[in-house]
Structure 1
Amino acid sequence: MLRHPAGGIGTGRAPRRARTAGPHNHGMRAPFSTDLTSRDRLPSLTGLRFWAALLVVLYHLSRQAGELPGISEAVWYGRSGVTFFFVLSGFVLAWTYDGKRVPARVFLWRRFARIWPLLAATTVLSVGAWLVLGKEVSGKAVAASLLLVHAWIPDPVVLRGGNPAAWSLSDEAWFYLAFPLLMALPAVRSPRGRRWIAGGVCVAVVLVWLSGALITDSGTRAWALDYLPLTRTAQFLLGVVTGLAVTRGWRPPAGLWTAVALVAGWHLALVPWSWAVPDALWYSPYAASQLLATPLFALLVAAAARADLDGRPTGLGGTRSVRLGHWSYAWYLIHEIVIRLWLGHFGKPVGLIDTALVWLLVLAASLTLSAAAYLWVEHPLERRLRAVGPRVAAEPIAAGRLRTPR
């Protein structure tokens, strides 16, 4: 058992549990909850999940279903929304489990219950879509998807042949296995250590991007820099140390809307870059958009969380935003299947009006299916699995302790 001492990134403050606003208290401050099963204690982060998912959806629509002027240029590298989710995952897990005594087996079962039921359901749906379209289905790819190991395998058939959008869950599974160990590291528990880690991650993502110059094959480079869980671990780690810092009272150097402007400005800056450099080259914005955005997304998450803790309205934590955020995981997994089925049956639209109509139909259909998947599959199955799985023993919670795997 290891304790997490006080302090955050760039601060040596004593531990301080801030107050948080729930989604229905209209900005009034409420006591911080220690119930690990409660959700939306930071409602703006839930709301941001929808916008990150939308970025990914529009990215796929632009690249697969046809471009819409202005929108497509801005979201041409919207795959960076996955980077946001990796940073957010580390932040939320650190925020939730810091100071809690939870056996690793309980933590891992909870994460399994959270992601696997919907993964299995959408994999069945994806395989059905391939078969309806008359495509061969690789049993190896399906098995790798269900076992959450496909991102480790540099084979396009395995990566995309089962459930294409689910590759990021393979990375998440790796993060979950590493999380108890990361929380036990002295550097992660130390204010100075977190400062060094945050700075190291910022340097590391640049070095990883530059390392693309050493990989001549574009397919191998894309796998190594975009899919491989080891490459993405730095993004999760930055989320972890940022989450721990915020729980200890650290305030990010920029407010929420400044952080939003920086993220938007980054994506807009990629537009002229994309005109000048083809994606196949290592110094194109393709890998850079995902890797170099890591610190910006960490700032965005921290600023949104800080606003919630201070009880300041953000426009992201209302009932509707939170509901859309709940659907975002299902939307992320389902939208690609809907796009695939539409294009397989009707082909790529021709002309601006037809393209816009396809976009609207796909957005509406996939979001509706996602709402149903959340209500009837994801949420109820998660609750059932958590109920039958291992639980935390009824014992006093020792501040700052998390069990590591034995």
Structure 2
Amino acid sequence: MRPPASVPSARPPAPGPHAGSAASMPSGDRAGRDRLPSLTGLRFWAALLVVLYHLSRQAGELPGLSEAVRYGRSGVTFFFVLSGFVLAWTYDGRRVPAPLFLWRRFARIWPLLAATTALSVGAWLALGRDVSAKAVTASLLLVHAWTPDPVILRGGNPAAWSLSDEAWFYLLFPLLMALPAVRSARGRRWIAGGVCVAVVPVWLTGALIHDAGTRAWALDYLPLTRTAQFLLGVVTGLAVARGRRPPVGPWAAVALVAGWHLALVPWSRAVPDALWYSPYTASQLLAAPLFALLVATVARADLDGRPTGLGGRWATRLGQWSYAWYLIHEIVIRLWLGYAGAPAGPSGTAVVWSLVLLVSLALAAGAYHAVEHPLERWLRARGPAARGPGARGPGTGPAAEPSVPPRR
């Protein structure tokens, strides 16, 4: 969302994934604060991975590309890690009351959730599908990921399940930041190491759940399962804020993430997704340490003033639109398939992919400027006020904090 940051003279917190451009932020919010624009630009690529995943699974496959993005749903894991990182970075050392923090998060994610849920319900009705009022209510209350019932889980806006997980993370965040283990360097190392090791036995528990639907819910959707990814982001954000340097640079981290996804291609050919030892769940659980490394290296590059290619004007603008894109693109795919049907052949599929990408991104841009950004400002202005020295921390400006898309 803006040019790369210069080397800071101090280490005040900086906003990340949903930060607005420097030009759009109030000067009081910008003063004396580090900026991490590359994290905003990185959000676009994670959202694109999820969009391509849904296009491949729903609108037809393109040779080569579809294999590479077959498990692009792991972009949701990236957003969960990124959310923890940015919130820890933003609120570290700030005396922000829990009600104020939670109101800011509500203002950040709920208006667009409500708008896109209404849009999704309209799409279902236009296609002649029944809509569950119970499912819509659960979505708007952000509790729909707590049940394995697919009607409740996906009955409002299917992409919005991850916001139910995010709401849970927001409730936990003030408690996590108060834990002695999280506040100490040694404790953070133990937590990070524990999470990186624990993802393997968590994935292996899939062998104990024989029903594929229940297994997918328990390991992919359930907020309790995903909490470790958010916690890893929190301790990583605090470590970088205190000067910890990642062991590799940004491009090495990108190569590790890309290599992991390419390694899933032969695995997917050998094992059907319905089996517990397929890469479907593994792609989401086991990737968390790699995503934490990627976020840390990109943030460190911004702090050092090193170019990443992710912090320019258009890169960060696309990152700003990514939350809306995440919530809108599946609706566009659904409407296209409902009215035009599945495309025929690779050329027809390529045309549909291109049209869906352009139309959904254009709608996302409009939603950001007409709904998401102005309503967040309006709600923040009417919520609880920060009081006392240091209470007005970074993230008080419009769109200065992250929200995570990610989906199914």
CA spacing shift, 1:312–1:153, aligned 2, 3 Å: same
1:336-351 equivalences in 2 (<5 Å): 336-351=330-345
Q: Whole-Å Cα distance in 1 between the matches of residues 346 and 212 of structure 2?
A: 31
Between 1:254-263 and 1:203-212, the stretch displaced more is 203-212
Cα distance in 1 for partners of 2:195, 2:233 equals 10
Query: How much does 1:104 deviate?
Result: 0.2
Partner residue in 2 for 1:43: 37
Q: Say yes or no: does 1:371 pair with 2:349.
A: no
Deviation at 1:329, TM superposition (A): 0.1
After superposition, what is the alpha-carbon deviation per residue over 1:86-131, rounded to whole angstroms, capped at 9, x for unaligned?
Answer: 0000000000000000000000000000000000000000000000
| 1:112 correspondence with 2:106 | yes
Instruction: Quickly say closer, same or farther: Cα 1:190–1:65, change in 2 above 3 A.
Output: same
Deviation of the 1:395 alpha carbon: 2.6
In 2, Cα distance between equivalents of 1:146 and 1:99: 32
Deviation beyond 3 Å, 4+ runs, structure 1: 26-40, 396-399
CA apart distance, 1:70? 1.1
Residue 69 of structure 1 is matched in structure 2 by 63
Give the drift of 1:396: 4.6
Q: Does the 8 Å contact 2:324/2:364 carry over to 1?
A: yes
How high is the TM-score relative to the length of structure 1?
0.90
**Uncovered stretches (5+) of structure 1, i.e. residues with no partner:** 1-21, 400-406
The answer on whether the counterparts of 1:209 and 1:287 sit within 8 Å (CA) in structure 2 is yes
Partner of 1:404: none
* Aligned match of 1:311: 305
* Counterpart amino acid of residue 317 in structure 2: R
Q: Which amino acid aligns with 1:29?
A: V
Shift of the 160–337 alpha-carbon distance from structure 1 to 2, 3 Å rule, reads same
Structural RMSD (CA): 1.6
Query: Does the 8 Å CA contact 1:99/1:398 hold for their aligned counterparts?
Result: no
Matches within 5 A, 1:16-35: 23-24=2-3, 28-29=6-7
How many Å apart are 1:314 and its aligned residue? Answer: 0.3
The verdict on how the C-alpha distance between 1:199 and 1:33 changes in structure 2, with shifts beyond 3 A counting, is closer
2:13/2:91 contact within 8 Å kept: no
CA distance in 1, matches of 2:192, 2:275: 28
Bigger mean CA offset, 198-207 vs 58-67: 198-207
Equivalent position amino acid for 2:382 in 1: V
* Alignment pair present for 1:298 and 2:292: yes
Match of 2:209?
215
Equivalent runs, 1:1-400 vs 2, <5 Å = 23-24=2-3, 28-29=6-7, 39=20, 41-396=35-390
Tell me the number of residue pairs that the alignment of Structure 1 and Structure 2 aligns. 377
Task: Tell me whether 27-36 or 54-63 shows the greater mean CA deviation.
Answer: 27-36
One-letter code aligned to 1:289: S
* Cα displacement (A) at 1:278: 0.1
**Quick check: 388-397 or 42-51, which moved more?**
388-397
Amino acid in structure 2 at the alignment position of 1:176: Y
CA distance in 1, matches of 2:207, 2:292: 26
Shift of 1:391: 1.5
